[in-house]
Amino acid sequence: MNAASSLRRIGLPRLIVHLSVLVICIIWLIPTLGILVTSFRDAGQISASGWWTAFTGAAETSAARLGEPSTAKQEGTNYVISGSVFEQGQGGAVRAFGTRVAAPTEFQAGQAADLGEGETLTINEDGSYVYTKNAPFDGERGKRVYLSVAAPPSFTLDNYRTVLTSQGIGQSFVNSLTVAIPATIIPILISAFAAYALSWMEFPGRALIIAMVVGLIVVPLQMSLIPLLRMYNEIGNLFGVPSRSYAGIWLAHSAFGMPLAIYLLRNYIAGLPREIIESARVDGASDFEIFVKIILPLSFPALASFSIFQFLWTWNDLLVAMVFLGTGKDQLVLTGALNALLGSMGGKWEILTASAFITIVVPIIVFFALQRYLVRGLLAGSVKGG
């Protein structure tokens, strides 16, 4: 009865919305948690077990050599090599083994593995093994085998040290910050001034400018990228400015972000109480004083909500960065470095996951720092207008 009354009080549509949001959050968090956990594991554990086993104990992949053929003993018609896969002073519990690096868990511990050509290999859980062949063993060195050995939970920071020092991700991280921070601040400052002028200052052509701003929102970035680059290069050649510089990408991101920023901020600022503006003017405040002392503090939710979108866009951008900044090692942004890393180290998951988490940790911090202003700023900026 209590459950039924609670359901009626909450309402079925609202309950469905809450459950949907919860499912979406779980779906989003699970792979993120997997990336985080995997980034702290070593390569052997990653290849042998899933990230969800990291806290309860995992299997680590290692290689070992069996005894040399010269140590074989003849037992009837067979030749046998026996011993332990663990070196002296080492130990563990063998879960599985294999004879190929691509399949280190092909056979379970204790299973008699038929290797073909009359060869049979059994590796027990304690590491002892029996290697049998119906003919004398060939070669001078022992056979190499691969083991999946149970290991206690262990984590390491070596993946992050490798990424930040030897893979150039550290410099790319700094490059992305150098691009994203100014490319977020510049359009917000310019757009805030423009939004105030379009909201509270009367001048000819104001309606036309507002219409142009709305029209520019729907202009595809790809369509304007090449003309903008040509214009920038011509201006750079005229004034002797390098064609690939941070100034160029700051201006490009500002140009692409300002239409939406002006639209959102103008609608928000236009919805502020008129009495506050008029009272300030009666007291002799100039437009600049009104903007700095009244408009900016009251518009912080809208400014914060746009900052999230602008920062996420500039931080995750690859196309504009490659066009206006280049692909040199000193200019490559984090997304470009990670893309190159996928090509050169596509099989090293410990390196890739550490790089991926370095890429997403800054946007996550920015989002959670400003998320309380997101909905309030967007809703106010989308429904208010004058």
Burial of 45: CB neighbours in 10 Å, binned 0-12, 13-18, 19+: buried
Predicted confidence band at 378 (pLDDT cuts at 50, 70, 90)?
Answer: low
Nearest in space to 133 (alpha carbons), one of 82, 172, 170, 80: 80
Q: Are 164 and 338 in contact (CB under 8 A)?
A: no
Please write the tens of the pLDDT for every residue from 264-300: 888 888 888 888 888 888 888 888 888 888 888 888 8
Of the candidate ranges 101-110, 264-273, 320-329, the one whose mean pLDDT is the lowest: 320-329
pLDDT digits (tens, 9 = 90+) for 177-192: 999 999 999 999 899 9
pLDDT at 100: 87
Q: What tokens does 98 get?
A: 């294999």
Question: CA end-to-end span of the chain, whole Å?
Answer: 50
With bands split at pLDDT 50, 70 and 90, how would you rate the model's confidence at 347? low
For tokens 């948690």, what's the residue?
33
Helices and strands (H, E) in the chain, number of each type:
15, 9
Element at 147 (helix H, strand E): strand 144-151
Annotate 150-177 with DSSP letters as a single string. EE-----SHHHHHHHHTSSHHHHHHHHH
Distance CA 13, CA 44 (A): 48
* Token output for 298: 């009251």
Cα–Cα distance list, 113 to 62, 97, 106, 142, 181 (Å): 18, 9, 9, 17, 59
- The whole-angstrom separation of Cα 59 and Cα 151 is 5
45: confidence class by pLDDT, cuts 50, 70, 90: confident
Question: Is residue 104 predicted with pLDDT exceeding 90?
Answer: no
Other C-beta atoms lying within 10 Å of the C-beta of residue 113: 18
State the maximum Cα–Cα separation within the chain, in Å, rounded to a whole number: 112
Pick the most confident of 124-138, 203-217, 231-245, 314-328: 124-138
Region 43-65 average pLDDT: 76
Give me the mean pLDDT over the 131-143 stretch. Answer: 87
Give the type of residue at 160: Y
pLDDT category at 381 given cuts 50, 70, 90 is very low
* Mean of per-residue pLDDT scores for the chain: 81
Least confident of 33-42, 137-146, 369-378: 369-378
Other C-beta atoms closer than 10 Å to the C-beta of 373 total 18
